[in-house]
A and B are shown apart, each in its own frame.
Chain A
Amino acid sequence: MKRIACYAALTAVSLFPCLPALAQDYSGHTLVVGTWGGDIERLLREHVAGPLEAKTGAKVEFLLGGSGDRMSKMVAERNNPTMDVTFQNIYEAPAALKEGLVVAPDAALVPTAADVWAGMNDGCYAMSLVGLGIAYSKALFPEAPEWADLWKAEFKGKMAYAPYPSSEGDGMLAVAARIAGVDEHDPDAAFAKLAELGAPVLSYSSLDEVFTLMDAGEIAAAPMISGYVLSNLGNYEGIGFVFPKDPGPVLVRDMVCQVANSPEPELAKMFIDLALSVETQTAYAKELNFGPTNSKVELTEEEAARVINTPEEVKSLLQLDWSYIIEQRSDWTDRWNKQILGQ
Chain B
Amino acid sequence: MKQTPDIKPTATALLVAPAAILMFGVFVLPFVFLVVLSFWSQVPGSVGIDPTFTLANYARIIGDGYYLGGLWTTLWLSGLVTLICLVLALPLARWIVLHAKRSKGLLIGLCILPLVCGALLPTLGLVNLLSPLGFINGALKSMGLIKTSLPLLGNIAGVSIGLVQAFLPLMILPLISTIERIPHDYEKAAMSLGATRLVVWRRVLLPLMLPGIVAGSLLVFCASLTAFVTPQILGQGKVVTFASLAYQQAAMVLDWPFASALGMVMLLFLALAGLLGALVSRGLGRRT
Stretch at the interface among A41-49, A199-207, A270-278: A199-207
Which residues of chain A from 185 to 228 have a CB within 8 Å of any chain B CB? 199-205, 209, 212-213, 216, 218
Secondary structure of the B contact surface, majority rule:
loop
Contact B237 A99 (CB under 8 A): no
Determine whether B252 belongs to the interface, using a CB cutoff of 8 Å to chain A: yes
B238 close to A205 (CB less than 8 A): no
- Within B60-90, the residues touching A (CB, 8 Å) are 64, 66
CB < 8 Å A-B pair total: 79
Q: Judge if A316 is at the interface, Cβ distance under 8 Å.
A: no
Max count, chain A CB within 10 A of own CB: residue among B42, B45, B237: B237
Q: Return the contact of A75 from the options B131, B236, B254 (Cβ within 8 A).
A: B254
Residues 4-47 of B, flagged 1 when their CB comes within 8 A of A and 0 if not, give 00000000000000000000000000000000000000101111
Alpha-carbon separation in the docked complex, A333 to B153 (Å): 23
Could you say which of A65-73, A135-143, A231-239, A243-251 contacts chain B?
A65-73
Given the interface contacts A99-B46, A202-B153, does A341 sit within 8 Å of B237 by beta carbon? yes
A contact residues, range: 35 or more
Say whether B240 contacts A68, CB under 8 Å: no
B66 touches A342 (CB 8 A): yes
Q: Is the CB of B133 within 8 A of A218?
A: yes
Contacts of A98 in B (CB 8 A): 46
Q: Nearest-CB distance from B168 to chain A (Å)? A: 24
> A165 is contacted by which of B149, B240, B252 (Cβ under 8 Å)?
B252
Q: Is A163 an interface residue (CB 8 A)?
A: yes
* CB-defined contacts of B154 to chain A, threshold 8 Å: 201-202
A213 pairs with B236, CB closer than 8 A: no
Q: Is A127 an interface residue (CB 8 A)?
A: no
The answer to whether A268 has its CB under 8 Å from any CB of chain B is no
Any A CB within 8 A of the CB of B253: yes
**Which residues in window 58-89 of A have CB below 8 A to B?**
66, 68-69, 71-72, 75
Which residues from A are CB-within-8-Å of B44?
327, 330
Q: Which residue of B lies closest to A333 (CB)?
A: B253
Contacts of B45 in A (CB 8 A): 326-328
A199 to B237, CA, bound (A): 11
Is the CB of A296 closer than 8 A to any CB of chain B?
no
A310 shortest CB reach to chain B, Å: 33
B contact residues around A321 at 8 Å (CB): none
Within the complex, the shortest CB–CB distance from A218 to chain B, in Å, comes to 5
- 5 smallest CB-CB distances across A and B, nearest first, come from A203-B237, A327-B45, A202-B236, A68-B252, A68-B251
A-B residue pairs in contact (CB < 8 Å), sample of 15: A66-B251, A68-B254, A71-B47, A71-B254, A75-B47, A75-B254, A95-B46, A161-B237, A163-B237, A163-B252, A202-B154, A202-B238, A212-B133, A330-B255, A333-B248
